[in-house]
Amino acid sequence: MNVIFLGPPGAGKGTIAALAKEKLSVPHISTGDIFRSAIKNETALGKQVKSILSSGELVPDELTIDLVKERLKEGDTSGGYILDGFPRTIPQAEALETFADIDFVINFTVERDMIIRRLSGRRIAKESGKVYHILYNPPKTAGICDITGEPLIQRDDDKEEAVINRLEVYERQTAPLIEYYTENGLIRDVDGSDTPEKVLASFLTVIDEGNG
Ligand code: ADP
Ligand code: ADP
């Protein structure tokens, strides 16, 4: 099963993908995670995209498309995958069609106020990659990752100024994908405002029905 997770920043795509990958035994491929890991490791890619991510703008299509195309060639994708955060533009979606066969596009819907609450409280652990929320998904000890014990940090692009820009970028460049995938019949809406367990259950029901 090849699935795309679509939705505004903060909709819970990464959180649900982390839960769903265990249930479905498929890799969770997040372009944002790939870029952040390149930045952390100071690779050539990381140096190229660092300031773009901080500002909340999008990495150029060509670069992002090539990266995903290569990633999907890896052996772990043969039983399916979850693409989280790609495509984010119409040209990316058009390119994806030339090298992937997508079964469903899950559109996580969440109101703007909730998006802002989620993004402003999001904290991440760089080493473990785990995502927390200061209120909704706190670690056992405040400010410390449960797995590695490292200090949690706020992403640069979760700071207020970048958040407003990212929501604009989403509306302008990514939201048109909803219509694109509605026209070809792949879109499935999932209410992302419930608890992660309930959102996961809705997602699993939707893909089960689609297969039945
Ligand atoms: P996205 O990948 O769509 O940007 P995340 O999965 O990183 O979103 O979630 C954004 C923030 O909201 C994180 O701090 C996460 O812990 C929190 N979160 C995610 N899903 C839920 C949910 N269903 N209920 C409450 N908080 C959530
Ligand atoms: P969120 O889920 O909070 O929107 P992501 O982790 O998916 O954030 O993405 C973080 C940043 O990485 C984006 O703001 C953008 O700069 C870059 N990025 C991720 N995916 C893409 C993509 N498909 N195309 C272009 N840039 C991307």
190, part of any domain: yes
54: buried, middle or exposed (CB in 10 Å: 19+, 13-18, 0-12)? middle
- How many structural domains compose the chain? 1
Determine, yes or no, domain membership for 63: no
Atom of ligand 1 nearest to the CA of 192: 23
* 196 assigned to some structural domain: yes
Confidence bin at 191 (pLDDT 50/70/90): very high
Please, are residues 34 and 73 in contact by the beta-carbon 8 Å criterion?
A: no
Verify whether residue 166 is a known catalytic residue: yes
C-beta 116 within 6 A of ligand 1 = no
Task: Supply the pLDDT for residue 212.
Answer: 59
Choice from 119, 157, 158, 165 to test ligand 2 binding pocket (greatest atom count within 8 A of CB): 157
CATH number at residue 15: 3.40.50.300
pLDDT tens-digit map of 130-184? 999 999 999 999 999 999 999 999 999 999 889 999 999 999 999 999 999 999 9
CA-proximal residue: ligand 1, atom 26 (nearest): 136
d(CA 134, CA 95): 38
Tell whether 64 is covered by a domain.
no
Closest ligand by atom to 6 CA: 1
Q: What is the per-residue pLDDT across 91-107, written as a single tens digit (0 to 9) for each? A: 999 999 999 999 999 99
The reply to whether 115 falls in a domain is yes
> What is the pLDDT averaged over residues 61-84?
97
How far apart are alpha carbons 107 and 177 in whole angstroms?
Answer: 10
Name the one residue in this structure whose structure tokens are 């509306």: 171
**Cβ(125) – ligand 2 distance below 6 Å:** no
Does the residue 37 lie in any domain?
A: no
Q: Is residue 35 part of a domain?
A: no
Q: Are strands 131-133 and 122-124 parallel, antiparallel or unpaired?
A: antiparallel
Residue 108's domain comprises: 2-26+79-211
Give domain status of residue 188, yes or no: yes
Residue 88 annotated among the catalytic residues of the structure: yes
Position 68: which residue type?
V
Give the model's pLDDT for residue 71: 98
Question: For every residue of 39-103, which 3-state class applies, written as one string?
Answer: HHCCCHHHHHHHHHHHHCCCCCHHHHHHHHHHHCCCHHHCCCEEEECCCCCHHHHHHHCCCCCCC
